[in-house]
Structure 1
Amino acid sequence: MFKDLLRILPAHIHGLIETLSKPELNLLEEIRIRVHRPLELLIAGKPVYPKKNNNHYEVTLEDAQIVLNQLSEYSLYAFEEELRRGYITIQGGHRVGITGKVVLEKGAVQTMRSISSFNIRIARQKKGAAKHLISDVYDQRMGWQNTLLVGPPQTGKTTLLRDLSRHISEGVKERRIASRKVGIVDERSEIAACVNGIPQHDLGYRADVLDRCPKAEGMMMMIRSMSPDVLIVDEIGRQEDVEAILEAMHAGVVLMATAHGDSYESLMKRPTFSALFQAQAFTRIIELGRDPHPGTVKRVRLPKQVKERIKQ
């Protein structure tokens, strides 16, 4: 799991991480590399600062340069699009966030220079992670439901979405749920972790992926070209996302998506989501938390009209 990740790190930082115990490695969530500040590892939600010669290891400018060279394969020119976005997804699905001096052109982010911080988020495929959600998002009479997973960062939204794809694509034999065609628009390469267009994660044998494609455009492309039964997208929120979601639903496609937010109420304060909720686009809204572990369901909301249909 770590081989693709560790190859981008300086040897001594690689060595410090390898001193962790197996349970600690299994709980490692992030590697934070900040120039002239201590190396930070986020383990089970808590920061840990590895020591070298009895002192916290302080990241050097040379360390940052090595990471940048490895990420860009020594070609910053080819790396411009990733710098503009502020992150890159590497083989294995690990996402590396980047900060530094932003260069603007006509008010828009053109690139980034003087890179000073990296946040490496560990990607883990957890098969079966969404099994406990099936009863909430599948109705025996109406089938899979339009579902929005809501939660702050690191509450397992993408992990659950990935596993839901596998369940939907392959079917759930013990519940007599048939397999369905799944279309995934993976704008940030986090759901499927594609390398050369091929998913690195197991999404089920009936799943098709549009990698690094803007969500709004990708949803329409997927519907026109691949006729999915269920469409899956990550982190919606822009106005164009809303328009595409409504159009997809009018086309009879079930949609499953995630959104950053503390709760349904917090999303309602945002105009784009308010429009979606007023249109009753989602028949299941699942609020997630980290306590006692990422992916914990805090609350499942069923809009009033859906509840009334279920009772009939």
Structure 2
Amino acid sequence: MKSNRTKITRDEEDTLLLVATLPPALRAALRNLPLDELLEVVMDLGRLPEARFPDRVVPLADRPVGHDDLAHVTALTGAFGDDNRAGIERTLHRISAIRNRKGQIVGLTLRVGRAVVGGIDLLRDLVETGQSLLILGRPGVGKTTKLREMARVLADDFHKRVIVIDTSNEIAGDGDIPHPGIGSARRMQVPRPDRQHATMIEAVENHMPEVIIIDEIGTEAEAAAARTIAERGVQLIGTAHGTTLESLLKNPTLSDLVGGVQVVTLGDEEARRRRTAKTISERRAPPTFEIVVEMVDRDEVIIHRETGAAVDAILRGYAPRGEVREQAADGQVHIRDEEPALTAAPPPTTELTQRQGPVRIYPYALSRDILERVIRSLGLSARTVGVPEQADLLIALRARADDLRLKRLTEGGGVPLHFIKRNTANEMRRLLERLFHVIEGVEGDEVAELVRETEAAIHQALAESAEIPLAPRRPALRKLQHRIIAGHGLVAQSRGREPERHLVIYPPEEE
């Protein structure tokens, strides 16, 4: 109890150090506000200064910020680097500058930095494995906080030789002496952001670390440096730009962190044996990071324990279900899907394109407003409904797959249920484009006709166990045909030259 009180006092003292850099009038205004909840102070030239809290924004003065106010703050903080960031020595605060064309500072953001103890509980067992760990998540979700706590635990509790590569001084604070939040871990500062990859290699070659911790891997050179470090047997823990494993895989600059992607052309026999198209995407190399963690929120993560297997599943058109962990208010960690399973993405739904009248969609624990905007933007013959009993289709978050009420709604298989990973417009759009066979520049009637033709050919191939040729189609429509055919577990290949190029459906191989 005593140590906890010490931590709170240190946080309060650190916050007061940031407040002390403000002009006197702003300091006086902050005295009546809860400093333990303060997120940042924003000072823009010609505008009122603001204090930002999790649930509100409070003006700190009735006169706009002037050049003298900005000069007062910059005179009391550290020097600004090439990334326009400065700090206060031995604290985690970050002061970021906005400059005009002449390089003069016209705005400041004073971000409060706090060392949070206990943030590693969700991931402690993964850190103990010695495997390299990559953390993904949107800005502000707490990735850097997790890295700081991991550095302290690995150095102090497991007595590892840990080096923190601190490009923007967010992990270990400003100044030559690192913040105590990283424990006995050592810290290497980076002279310029474009030298981060060189500092990573220097750390391995000169200081013999067992663990390297790096924030915001964002360039091809840094991804290559990360692979070099991992190949030398050093445990690497880092963060990267991206919110999910799938989004990272689509980033050509950073996909090498999880193995990369290459396009492979198979022979006729091999394609038929695999029941795939002749041109497929495969993982290029072993992943640099064996484990990937997607941070949904500060207290919720999705873990992919075998990065290679998860990437392979995505490239085959499957959705890898990670292990979901949540930390309750009492500190208890709850785990779902402890042994992850791979579930196939739902095949295209032919009935939706042939149905008379708008398709009624019920968003289960999802934003109805976002879904309606997506429907309008795609021009679909669909609408949302307020009760599931009226729906032709249910959409829910994959994390809700074990929800008892959801299971009751879908008992008997009367209403199809489709899952998305996030409650976002992009996730909804991708699902609806697949279900409604949306193709840019193609009318709905043409799509419906194509679906009917392809379905009929599939049934014929199954009934007659024969190869069935389809009519020539342009590339965008052939891609849709491939998707429909694969959804039925069959393989098709393209034949001929444009404009007579067409698909041929192969029957299933006999056992």
TM-score normalised by L of structure 1: 0.79
**Whole-Å separation in 2 of the counterparts to 1:122 and 1:16:** 17
The question of 1:146 aligning with 2:136 is answered no
1:206-285 → structure 2 map (5 Å cutoff)? 207-213=185-191, 214-278=195-259, 279=285, 280-285=287-292
Q: Deviations over 1:67-118 (max 9, x none)?
A: 233336xxxxxx4xx2532211222121111112145xxxxxxxx22x2111
Whether the 8 Å CA contact 1:83–1:98 is kept in 2: the answer is: no
Letter in 2 for 1:144: G
Which of the pair is proportionally richer in strand? Answer: 1
| CA displacement at 1:202 relative to structure 2 | 2.9
Residue in 1 aligned with 2:171? 191
1:17-56 → structure 2 map (5 Å cutoff)? 17-21=30-34, 25-44=35-54, 46-50=55-59, 52=61
SS at match of 2:40: strand
| CA displacement at 1:257 relative to structure 2 | 0.6
TM-score normalised by L of structure 2: 0.49
Structure 2: 5+ residue stretches without partners? 1-13, 260-284, 311-338, 340-511
| CA displacement at 1:231 relative to structure 2 | 0.5
| CA displacement at 1:60 relative to structure 2 | 2.8
| CA displacement at 1:144 relative to structure 2 | 2.1
Given candidates 8, 16, 24, the residue that maps to 1:11 is 24
Q: 1:10 to 1:289 in 2, by over 3 A?
A: farther
Residue in 2 aligned with 1:120? 110
**Whole-Å separation in 1 of the counterparts to 2:177 and 2:228:** 28
| CA displacement at 1:65 relative to structure 2 | 2.5
| CA displacement at 1:289 relative to structure 2 | 3.7
The question of 1:299 aligning with 2:294 is answered no
Quote the sequence identity (%): 26
Q: 1:51 to 1:215 in 2, by over 3 A?
A: closer
Q: Deviations over 1:134-181 (max 9, x none)?
A: 12443xxxx22211111122111111100001111122xxxxxx4211
SS at match of 1:222: helix
Relative contact order, higher structure (CA 8 A, sep 6+)? 1
Letter in 1 for 2:207: M
Whether the 8 Å CA contact 2:258–2:288 is kept in 1: the answer is: yes
**Whole-Å separation in 2 of the counterparts to 1:208 and 1:161:** 13
**Whole-Å separation in 2 of the counterparts to 1:130 and 1:31:** 28
**Whole-Å separation in 2 of the counterparts to 1:100 and 1:304:** 41
Whether the 8 Å CA contact 1:89–1:188 is kept in 2: the answer is: no
**Whole-Å separation in 2 of the counterparts to 1:102 and 1:245:** 36
| CA displacement at 1:305 relative to structure 2 | 4.5
Q: 1:224 to 1:83 in 2, by over 3 A?
A: closer
Letter in 2 for 1:130: I
SS at match of 2:257: helix
**Whole-Å separation in 2 of the counterparts to 1:251 and 1:121:** 37
Residue in 2 aligned with 1:84? 82
Letter in 2 for 1:156: G
| CA displacement at 1:194 relative to structure 2 | 4.5
| CA displacement at 1:51 relative to structure 2 | 5.1
**Whole-Å separation in 1 of the counterparts to 2:292 and 2:306:** 8
**Whole-Å separation in 1 of the counterparts to 2:221 and 2:307:** 27
SS at match of 2:113: coil
Q: Deviations over 1:259-310 (max 9, x none)?
A: 23332222222212112212411122112244xxxx2233112335578xxx
| CA displacement at 1:48 relative to structure 2 | 1.0
Structure 1: 5+ residue stretches without partners? 73-78, 104-111, 172-177
Q: 1:61 to 1:255 in 2, by over 3 A?
A: same
RMSD: 2.3
The question of 1:96 aligning with 2:109 is answered no
**Whole-Å separation in 2 of the counterparts to 1:5 and 1:51:** 15
Q: Which moved more, 1:156-165 or 1:255-264?
A: 255-264
| CA displacement at 1:224 relative to structure 2 | 1.6
Number of residue equivalences: 269
**Whole-Å separation in 2 of the counterparts to 1:306 and 1:184:** 29
Whether the 8 Å CA contact 1:193–1:201 is kept in 2: the answer is: no
Q: 1:265 to 1:180 in 2, by over 3 A?
A: same
Residue in 2 aligned with 1:174? none
Given candidates 156, 173, 182, the residue that maps to 2:162 is 182
